[in-house]
Amino acid sequence: MLLTIGAVFFIYILTKIYISVMEVGYVSTQKHNPAVILTPSNYVKAAEYKIASQRMEILSSLVEYLSFIFWVGFGLKWLANAVTIEDMAMKSVVYVLLFGVVGFFISLPFDLYKTFILDKKFGFSNMDAKLYIVDTLKSSAMFIIFGGAITWLISTIIINIESWWLWGFALIFAIMIVINVIYPTLIAPIFNKFNILENEELKESIEKLLSSAGLKTDGVFTIDASKRDNRLNAYFGGLGKSKRVVLYDTLIEKLTKNELLAVLGHELGHFKHKDIIKNIAMVGTLLFLMFFIFGNLPQSLFEAISIEKTPYSIIAMFLIFSPILSLFFMPLFGMMSRSNEYHADKYGSACQSQEELASALQKLANENKSFPKSHPIFIFFYHSHPPLVERLKRLGVQINDD
């Protein structure tokens, strides 16, 4: 059994590394071709950023494999012996939180490198040490409070209910819905300052656009995204009455009014086509599959790594192995998502014009230094959006990318 789970995890890591290697090779070749969509300088920078990011991803995958060996080899058993609390639910809370703390410190060097070296080098990150520490403390506090509470609830369900995985799925799915509802009004403001959009002309145009689509929101807001990053973005957050339009301050500075309305029209297309509900359903399906699998793990699996089958060991196995299911489920999600993006582009074009949306997408790509091409296998596994070259061709832009 130990050899089997080791082989499964090895295939998972090998797949991730292979995808990254193919992407690095593809982008390295394309980098020397004539620039498309982006300016020549941004085209090269975008390629270099993608290559550097994927090389870091390869190293991260290797560390993930070493982490797996540590946990399965002796880490899970060691942690179980180190936490001597008798109450099983509370022991599970402490165990899972410590498991998360170890994971945090393993991933910290990668996050620091990306934030303070890689993203600084390419002109993205505006993060300073003070803001990074404050963000980390806030995130850690939320992890301890909410992660601890959820772990206690799941552990209590495992202890008291035979078919715990079904009730556990229902609980986590419900929590996921609640988070979507409260995120824009309660969670996001913890990290960013939200202000009502002051540009009355733009605000009126956005509200008119929303009204034409039958969307009622909590308001149109801007956030101080530039204090952390220079990338451009906008989104519709929340569900039900908590829905709100959120514009990055960087976006307002770089796009014209009509381009911005075209981008919001694209996002409205997702609302009109109920893509958010479809995405929730897809995530719910994956979550159900995960709970079914981890709720029926054989006793022999736990015996193979010398730990008892307890609430905390089941949750730990879930955290270790769920990324495998996520990776191989992603192509199905990606295919649906890429199709949705084309439909949203069509709706955004109808709200303004194909030209305005195409112009906005090209500006976004240049400012965000998004390389417009990817290897087919990378697209298959990771892309929730079609390659920008293909999107622009659908919008009528003539592109010579041979």
CA 291 to the chain's CA centroid: 20
Distance CA 221, CA 199 (A): 11
Residue 240 gets the label, from left (phi > 0), alpha (psi -120 to 50) or beta, of left
Could you tell me the two tokens for 168? 């556990």
- Rounded-to-integer distance, Cα 188 and Cα 174, Å: 19
Active site annotation includes 201: no
User: Which residue among the candidates 345, 356, 367, 390 is catalytic per the annotation?
Assistant: 345
Q: Are 51 and 28 in contact (CB under 8 A)?
A: yes
Q: In whole angstroms, give the CA distance from residue 133 to residue 127.
A: 10
Check if the beta carbon of residue 354 is closer than 8 Å to that of residue 395. Answer: yes
Task: Determine how many CB atoms are found less than 10 A away from the CB of residue 193.
Answer: 12
Catalytic residue among 218, 224, 267, 401: 267
Element at 332 (helix H, strand E) = helix 311-351
Taking Cα atoms as reference points, which of 280, 249, 265, 266 lies closest to residue 181? 280
DSSP secondary-structure letter at 384?
Answer: S
The conformational region for residue 207 under phi > 0 = left, psi -120 to 50 = alpha, else beta, is: alpha
Q: Which of 259, 266, 325, 257 is nearest to 290 (CA)?
A: 325
For residue 208 the two structure tokens come to 């008119």
Q: 219: which residues sit within 8 A by CB, 6+ positions away?
A: 196, 244, 245
Please enumerate in sequence order all residues whose Cβ is within 8 A of that of 17, keeping only pairs 6 or more positions apart, or say none. 58, 61, 62
With 0-12 / 13-18 / 19 or more C-beta atoms within 10 angstroms meaning exposed / middle / buried, residue 218 is middle
d(CA 66, CA 51): 23
Active site residue 345: yes
**Is residue 165 packed enough to be buried (19+ CB in 10 Å), middle (13-18) or exposed (0-12)?**
buried
Q: How far apart are CA 310 and CA 316, in angstroms?
A: 10
Which 3 state secondary structure label does DSSP give 25?
helix
Q: Which residues are catalytic?
A: 267, 345
